[in-house]
Structure 1
Amino acid sequence: TGVGSKYVEKAVYDRPTYKVDEFVATGTGGYYLTDKKEVIVISMGTGSFFVKVTENEMKHLGGVGLGGGTICGLSSIILNTGDIHEIVPLSRKGDVAKIDLRIGDLAKEKLPGLNLDVTASNFGKADAQSKPEDIAAGIVHMVIENICQAGILASRNTGIKDYILIGGLTKFFECRQIIEDFKSLWDVKVTIPEYSDYATAIGAVIAPDAEKEEI
């Protein structure tokens, strides 16, 4: 499944092979990993998209061009490395509070519905003296935060308050920090299930036969 499946044109290792639409695989896999009857699945890969899943419906709600590709691309330009295995430990050493401008930097008291630690401007504090580790933390935080926020905004009219995060970016520790921040900001429940980075593959396996296109 996914964009890369377009290049698979024959059986793999002589084994029967089939393709499943990425939105179907993502929705199916995400739903399988939760015990909720209705949920918004936020898939965070190279780019990101959102799928509404209930017992009777699966609907693609849209997406954004933010994801692992953004993190690697910006890091290549700014930090001279696009290697995720170098970016991850670097970001863990950084302090995003030295990069992002927060409500607390602009106001002495919290605003209605906005705590002092809510981001007012990603990279609003960054300057030429910013340290590489802080920049790395800022890049990762900006991408993950805005993916989650876009997913919540894209699904506001569904009335669903349960969200599942899946994809490779769920392995960044920043994900769990952002989830905690969003609980009070949006009155939603966001969880990262076990095997979150394999959800789409799981969905491709268990998808209904009618959704499988044999090669």
Structure 2
Amino acid sequence: MQRITAGIDAGGSLIKMVYQENKRMHFRKFPINELDSALSWLKMSVPSLHVSLTGGKASLIQKKYFQDSLIHPEFVATCEGARFLLSAENKVMEENYLIVNIGTGTSWHIVNGDKVERILGSGMGGGTFTGLGSLLTQVQDYQQLTDLAKIGNKGNVDMLVKDIYESAETPINGELTAANFAMGKKLKHTDADRLASLSNMIAETIVLLTSQTAAIHQVKNVVIIGSAIVGNPSLKHGLEFYMNMVGLPTVFLEKGEYCGAIGAYLTVT
């Protein structure tokens, strides 16, 4: 019987699976509240499975579904998956670089040759976008939230530098944020505008932390991964814009949301 291997990353919002069948890697993801049905589907679809687990709910899955599975440390799995994808996608990095993993929250890791270390974490991430976005708009669906953020105008909600200087010449780009959600005299704004402002605030905060971390550790290149930027063009555009502004070359991995699952998968191949 063919030996089929799989890596499963069960985090705060999503369960991500990578499995090998007929010499091909397959990628699947499900909302975490569908964990039971997702794992039942996997066991039925892919028999004779050898599994490695990672993420916050790895122990729960091991106990209930895969008693013989391995549990791989989450941060190690994430970075190993990122390295694998960099090679697979022919993206060459200098020896030292940062990995920024934007999932429910955000983690920063420094890669120095073969050594990987988690150096920073923040509660600002995809969970902030969906949770606070729902509070601001009463919209619950993630796709609707991202679609609205894409068409919104943050300038209808944020106080911009040009709002402070009004007709005077601004010392920096007038479109930059002076204060998130400050509004000032701006009384008219839509759900889309509020979501655009939220997305911008998350992007600004992550880039600010990234640039400070890169300066402290003398790193010049960044790899951004994680589920929060998938299908969220407003957030990704904000990250690209601000990373370019601070002068940090940045790589976005095409399958970056699966780094943890890939790292787990690599331990059983």
- Please classify the TM superposition score into its range, dividing by the shorter chain length: 0.7 to 0.9
1:148 aligns with one of 200, 207, 211 = 207
Query: 2:112 matched to 1:59?
Result: no
More strand as a share of residues: 2
Aligned residue type for 1:74: L
Task: Tell me how far apart the structure 2 counterparts of residues 102 and 128 of structure 1 sit (CA, whole Å).
Answer: 15
* C-alpha RMSD of the superposition: 2.3
| Higher mean C-alpha deviation, range 71-80 or range 198-207 | 198-207
How many angstroms apart in 2 are the aligned matches of 1:165 and 1:65? 16
1:178 corresponds to which letter in structure 2?
G
The one-letter amino acid paired with 1:97 is G
Q: After superposition, where does 1:50-129 map in structure 2 within 5 Å?
A: 50-107=108-165, 108-111=168-171, 114-125=172-183, 129=188
- Return the alpha-carbon distance in structure 2 between the equivalents of residues 185 and 110 of structure 1: 17
**Aligned positions of 1:1-215 closer than 5 A:** 1-10=54-63, 12=65, 16-34=68-86, 35-36=92-93, 37-107=95-165, 108-111=168-171, 114-125=172-183, 129-171=188-230, 172-206=232-266
Going from structure 1 to structure 2, the CA distance change for 1:151 and 1:82 (only over 3 Å counts) comes to: farther
Match of residue 10 from structure 2: none
d(CA) in 1 for partners of 2:243, 2:149? 23
Q: 2 CA distance for matches of 1:179 and 1:101?
A: 19
- Does 1 or 2 have the higher relative contact order (CA < 8 Å, sep 6+)? 1
* TM-score (norm. length: structure 2): 0.68
Structure 2 SS opposite 1:60:
strand
Q: How far has the Cα of 1:155 moved from its partner?
A: 3.2
Distance 2:113 2:68 in 1: 30
Alpha-carbon distance between aligned partners in 2 of 1:106 and 1:94, rounded to the nearest angstrom = 21
Whole-angstrom CA distance in 2 between matches of 1:181 and 1:85: 22
Aligned to 1:212: none
User: 1:76 and 1:175, CA in 2 relative to 1: closer, same or farther beyond 3 A?
Assistant: closer
Moved more, 77-86 or 181-190: 181-190
What's the offset of the Cα at 1:128?
5.3
Q: Write the distance in 1 (CA, Å) between the matches of 2:169 and 2:80.
A: 44
DSSP-derived class of the 1:8 partner: helix
Are the structure 2 counterparts of residues 31 and 39 from structure 1 closer, same or farther at C-alpha, using a change threshold of 3 Å? farther
* Unpaired stretches in structure 1, ≥5 consecutive residues: 210-215
